[in-house]
Amino acid sequence: MHMTFEKIDPPENPAVDIARTIKQLHLDTIKMMDGGFVYHADGVNVNDKMRAACQEQIDLCDEIIATSSTLSAALLAPVTLLLEDARADIEKRLKAATAEELAVEDSALPEIGNYDHKT
C-alpha cells in the first residue's frame, strides 16, 4: 500500500466564490474596453462611465470577499439555496430558449448582482 499526504483545502464559501466570479466579469469588461471595445448609450461613448461602474462593483466584490471569509457556512446556507435555484433556472431557460429569443427578450435570465449604477 502506498500512502501520500496532501493538504485538502475546505470548500470555499459560496458568497466568496460568486463575488470572485462577478469581480472577474467586471475585470474582463475593463480589459475589453482597454482592447478597443466601446460601449454606447444613445450613440455616445460611455466607456468612462462603464469603467467607473465596473470599478465600483469590483470594490464591492472585494468587500464581500473580505466580509464573507469570516462568516460561518451556516449563516450562508440560505444564500447557497438561492444560488442553486438561480443556477437551475438559468440552465432551464437556456435550454428552452433559442438564440433569437435570447436576443429579443433580455428579461429571460435573472439578474444576479448589484447593478444599481446609472449607466
Residue 29 to residues 55, 81, 98, Cα–Cα distance (Å) = 10, 28, 25
Confidence of residue 51 (pLDDT cuts 50, 70, 90): very high
Q: Say which residues have a Cβ less than 8 Å from residue 53's Cβ, sequence separation at least 6.
A: 115, 117, 119
Alpha helix (H) residue ranges in 35-116:
47-68, 77-96, 99-104
Give the cell for residue 100. 433569437
Confidence of residue 74 (pLDDT cuts 50, 70, 90): confident
Judge whether residue 4 has pLDDT over 60: yes
Judge whether residue 9 has pLDDT over 70: no
Q: Which residue has the higher pLDDT, 61 or 11?
A: 61
Count CB atoms within 10 A of the CB of residue 55: 13
Judge whether residue 28 has pLDDT over 90: yes
Model pTM?
0.55
Residue 7 to residues 4, 10, 32, 103, Cα–Cα distance (Å) = 10, 9, 37, 46
Q: How far is 48 from 103, CA to CA, in rounded Å?
A: 26
Q: Which segment of 31-45, 59-73, 101-115 scores lowest on mean pLDDT? A: 101-115
